[in-house]
């Protein structure tokens, strides 16, 4: 039985205003304006909203904390340290995690101790909170006087801690990817004459990694936030710069600025992840029709 | 895409409106305080806060009944107001934040600054503070005699302290200072060679040198016209009663006695030249 009139367009599903048409855009804009205007009214009428506005959203403090001033670090400048930390860490994490995931899957009784170490590693570093790892490595290792490893800058210990902890999570993600590739792929590769390592490298891993790119990017986004914790070891990154400003000026707009910077850097990555997922889905569905 | 632009535009407009509009907070004025019936946080005693751990020579002994310089000053004030004293814990970093407090006053080597006075109230000063610089004896920093000698060092300080202000405003080191959540962390960093020097209040640096960090030295002190004050919630009328008691302690010599007893050994340090 046919519905009366043309079918109403569904939600935009990534194709935006072209799918909605002009009237749809007007309606969605009007609805959005009304929705946020109501929220703004409720917020503005709340008791203490004036104080909140002054303490968190004052435009001159927002600007001053962003660019810095005499004796106070700039949140934007300090944010560059966060960017460097996560860029650096991510490279090492992706490599170390892959090694752990592969080692964990090596068959054969003679490799049992290796598998054991891999399992113990992931259990240990997924279990210990990052801040404890930072304290133990950042204050403990320098105190041990072990040669060059005890004389690294504190940011290096921060990167080491992040790499140790995140590799444990990412190793499990890789492992899930590897196990999701059907064993028949491996069997077929072996029957064609490839060795176990060749099969892993040319057949299994490419498929496995492609499947887990969304959760990998998810962990990367988490990593970007956790770089803020490296400040306990002394270096001034964005969250610490915001804290210094807040402690000095008693205005917390600096925290809002730091939060916005973190969010702004996450959004392109999140949209990129969405697009990758959609593309991967299209590829797999196209394959099904063939 | 169009909706996204409209959305971002609207959100920014809302944020700006919220930021510019709204009534601003008024600071309360304190009424005077009646010594026989002071306004207390809890009626059955004087609730005094400090940080945990609380270090000598500021605080000594049982956390339910501290002695030490600040412990004795607070106990003496409670005694003069005829009240038992109740100790509670407040981390330093939280103490000078604006808002309601869970104590009558906080005594924790807190310097009176005009910025902090916008958020909280202070009693009159009970101690003149100087900044101290602590280094390890075997580092090149140990030979520093003036502020300019400190410029090339990696200096550590606690966030939100006047020590950090001293580093940023006066020393102005070439490398960024290292900023820690607590003096304890800065102390670990000094011991492990991560930083060349710690800046904190003079008495604490001397205490660390004599009792906590082997092989350390205090290269000098730098007076900054700073005074420690007891910290109250903004607008708390109790300040007047406490100031009255403190005034009596100053005029009858009690405060001087306490300083001699607890702090004298920690103040003999050369002054840094410019």
Cβ of residue A11 closer than 8 Å to a chain B Cβ: no
- The residue-averaged pLDDT of A181-204 equals 94
User: Are A240 and B159 a contacting pair at CB < 8 A?
Assistant: yes
pLDDT given at position B115: 85
Mean pLDDT of B182-186: 91
pLDDT, tens digit (0-9, with 9 covering 90-100), for B96-145: 887 889 999 999 999 999 888 888 999 999 999 999 999 999 888 899 99
pLDDT score recorded for residue B16:
63
Pairwise CA distance, residues A167 & A89, whole Å: 10
Per-residue HEC secondary structure of A5-72 comes to: CCCCCCCCCCCHHHHHHHHHHHHHHHHHHHHHHHHHHHHHHCCCHHHHHHHHCCHHHHHHHHHCECCE
The CA-to-CA distance between both ends of chain B, in Å, stands at 60
Q: Is the pLDDT reported for residue B180 higher than 70?
A: yes
Residue A20 confidence class, pLDDT cut points 50, 70, 90: low
In a domain, A273, yes or no: yes
All CATH 3.40.190.10 domain ranges of chain B, comma separated, are: 25-126+229-266, 128-226
In a domain, A16, yes or no: no
Chain A residues in contact with B170 by the CB 8 A cut-off are none
The CATH architecture of the domain made up of B25-126+229-266 is: 3-Layer(aba) Sandwich (3.40)
pLDDT of residue A2: 45
CATH code (residue A102): 1.10.3720.10
- What pLDDT was estimated at residue B97? 80
Q: What is the pLDDT at residue A136?
A: 93
Find, among B174, B119, B22, B26, the residue nearest to A54 by Cα: B22
Nearest by CB to residue B178, choosing from A39, A53, A234, is A234
pLDDT at residue A283 tops 50: yes
Q: What is the pLDDT of residue A21?
A: 79
B128-226: which CATH topology? D-Maltodextrin-Binding Protein; domain 2 (3.40.190)
Interface of B with A in 153-212 (CB under 8 A): 156, 159-160, 164-165, 168-169, 176-181, 185-186, 188-189, 191-195
pLDDT at B29 over 70: no
CA B76 to CA A102: how far, in whole Å?
68
Residue B8 has pLDDT above 80, yes or no: no
Q: Are strands B155-158 and B178-180 parallel, antiparallel or unpaired?
A: parallel
Does the residue A65 lie in any domain?
Answer: no
pLDDT at A217 over 80: yes
CB B59 within 8 A of CB B107: no
Range of the domain at A155: 76-277
Cα distance from B5 to chain A (closest Cα, Å)? 10
pLDDT band at B28 (very low <50, low <70, confident <90, very high): very low
All residues of chain B having their beta carbon less than 8 Å from the beta carbon of residue A12 are 3
Distance CA B179, CA B156 (A): 6
Cα B220 to Cα B58, B147, B247, distances in angstroms: 20, 9, 31
How much is the pLDDT for A133? 96
The mean pLDDT value for A13-41 works out to: 81
> What pLDDT score does A18 carry?
62
* A126 inside domain: yes
pTM summary value: 0.80
- The pLDDT of residue A38 is 93
Q: How far apart are CA A147 and CA A151, in angstroms?
A: 7
Sheet with B216-233, strands from edge to edge, namely B85-89, B46-50, B105-106, B216-233, B120-136, B197-201, B155-158, B178-180
Calpha distance A184→B67 (Å, rounded): 76
Pairwise CB contact (< 8 Å): A244 & B160:
yes
- pLDDT above 60 (res A40): yes
Of chain B, the percentage scoring pLDDT greater than 70 comes to 92
- CB pairs A-B closer than 8 Å: 123
Query: In the structure, how many helices (H) and strands (E) does chain B have?
Result: 9, 8
| Mean model confidence pLDDT for chain A | 88
Residue in the block written with tokens 């940011």: A155
Mean pLDDT of chain B: 88
Q: Which residues of A touch B23 (CB under 8 A)?
A: 50
Per-residue confidence (pLDDT) for residue B23, from 0 to 100: 43
* Inter-CA distances, A98 with A91, A120, A157, Å: 11, 16, 21
Contact assignment for B185 to A232 by CB distance below 8 Å:
yes
Query: What is the distance between the alpha carbons of residues B103 and B231, in angstroms, rounded to a whole number?
Result: 10
Distance from C-alpha of A203 to C-alpha of A136, rounded to nearest angstrom: 40
Question: Which one of A3-12, A247-256, B231-240 scores highest in mean pLDDT?
Answer: B231-240
A288 in any annotated domain:
no
Instruction: Determine contact: B100 vs chain A, CB below 8 A.
Output: no
More confident residue, A274 or A125: A125
Phi, psi of B131 (to 5 degrees): -85, 145
pLDDT at site B25: 42
Number of domains in chain A: 1
Q: What is the pLDDT of residues A241-274, one digit of tens each?
A: 999 998 888 888 999 999 999 999 989 888 988 8
> Does the residue A2 lie in any domain?
no
Interface membership of B14 toward A (CB under 8 Å): yes
């Amino acid at each position: 039985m046919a519905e009366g009139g043309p079918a109403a367009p569904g939600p935009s599903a990534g194709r935006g205003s072209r799918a909605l048409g002009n009237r749809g855009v007007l309606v969605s804009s009007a609805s959005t304006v009304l929705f946020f205007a109501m929220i703004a009214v409720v917020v503005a009428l709340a008791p203490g909203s004036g104080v909140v506005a002054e303490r968190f959203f004052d435009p001159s403090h927002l600007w001053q904390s962003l660019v810095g001033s005499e004796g106070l670090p700039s949140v934007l400048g300090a944010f560059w340290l966060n960017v460097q930390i996560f860029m650096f860490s991510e490279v090492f994490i992706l490599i170390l995690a892959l090694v752990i995931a592969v080692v964990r899957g090596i068959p054969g009784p003679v490799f049992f101790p290796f598998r054991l170490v891999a399992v113990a590693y992931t259990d240990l570093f997924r279990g210990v909170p990052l801040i404890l790892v930072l304290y133990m490595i950042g204050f403990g290792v320098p105190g041990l006087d072990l040669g060059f490893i005890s004389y690294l800058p504190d940011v290096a210990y921060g990167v080491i801690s992040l790499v140790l902890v995140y590799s444990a999570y990412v190793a499990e993600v890789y492992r899930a990817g590897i196990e999701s590739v059907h064993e028949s792929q491996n069997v077929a590769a072996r029957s064609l004459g490839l060795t176990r390592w060749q099969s892993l490298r040319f057949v299994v891993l490419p498929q496995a990694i492609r499947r887990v790119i969304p959760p990998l990017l998810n962990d990367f986004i988490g990593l970007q936030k956790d770089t803020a914790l490296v400040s306990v070891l002394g270096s001034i990154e964005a969250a610490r710069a915001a804290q210094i400003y807040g402690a000095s000026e008693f205005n917390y707009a600096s925290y809002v600025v730091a939060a916005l910077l973190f969010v702004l850097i996450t959004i392109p990555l999140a949209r990129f992840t969405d697009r990758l997922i959609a593309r991967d889905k299209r590829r797999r569905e196209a394959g099904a029709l063939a | 895409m169009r909706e996204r632009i409209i959305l971002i535009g609207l959100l920014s407009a809302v944020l700006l409106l919220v930021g510019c509009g709204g009534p601003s907070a008024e600071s309360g004025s304190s009424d005077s305080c009646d010594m026989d019936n002071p306004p207390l946080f809890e009626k059955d005693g004087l609730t005094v806060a400090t940080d945990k751990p609380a270090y000598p020579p500021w605080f000594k002994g049982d956390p339910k009944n501290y002695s030490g310089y600040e412990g004795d000053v607070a106990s003496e004030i409670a005694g003069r107001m005829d009240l038992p004293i109740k100790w509670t814990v407040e981390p330093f970093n939280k103490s000078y934040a604006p808002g309601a407090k869970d104590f009558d006053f906080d005594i924790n080597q807190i310097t009176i600054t005009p910025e902090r006075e916008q958020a909280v109230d202070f009693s009159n000063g009970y101690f003149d503070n100087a900044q101290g610089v602590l280094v390890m004896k075997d580092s090149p920093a140990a030979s520093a005699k003036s502020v300019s000698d400190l410029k090339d060092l990696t200096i550590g300080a606690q966030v939100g302290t006047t020590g950090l202000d001293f580093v940023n405003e006066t020393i102005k080191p070439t490398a960024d200072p290292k900023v820690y959540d607590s003096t304890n962390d800065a102390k670990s960093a000094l011991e492990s060679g991560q930083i060349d020097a710690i800046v904190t209040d003079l008495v604490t640096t001397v205490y660390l040198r004599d009792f906590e960090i082997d092989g350390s030295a205090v290269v000098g002190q730098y007076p900054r016209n700073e005074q420690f004050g007891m910290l109250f919630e903004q607008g708390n009328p109790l300040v007047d009663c406490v100031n009255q008691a403190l005034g009596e302690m100053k005029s009858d010599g009690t405060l001087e006695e306490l300083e001699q007893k607890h702090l004298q050994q920690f103040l003999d340090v050369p002054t840094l030249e410019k």
